[in-house]
Amino acid sequence: MLSKKCDKNIARTIDLANQMIKLAQSGYEHREDPGCGVLYGILLDSGYRLLDLAQKEKNAHIQKGWWDASIKTESAK
């Protein structure tokens, strides 16, 4: 099966969401004021929301037989 651009974009979104989550966790540990806590809390929440949506979309593509099994994501490594 040929790789679909939409599948690659979903995989990239999963990777990005994981990076957002890691950055938010690191940033929160090193925060120096309440504003940073708010910033990293929002980043963490957004990362988890994006990850959830992207994984649901990936599963929908798998169910339709569209997902190219050769596409790797950080979560699969």
Residue 37, pLDDT score: 94
Residue 77 has pLDDT above 80, yes or no: no
For residue 19, CA distances in Å to 13, 23, 67, 73 come to 10, 6, 22, 12
Domains of the chain: total: 1
What are the backbone angles phi and psi of residue 35, rounded to the nearest 5°? -60, -40
Query: 25 in a domain, yes or no?
Result: yes
Residues 20-76 pLDDT 10s: 999 999 999 999 999 999 999 999 999 999 999 999 999 999 998 888 766 665 445
Residue 1, pLDDT score: 42
Query: 71 in a domain, yes or no?
Result: no
Residue 66, pLDDT score: 84
Domain that holds residue 43: 10-65
Residue 39, pLDDT score: 96
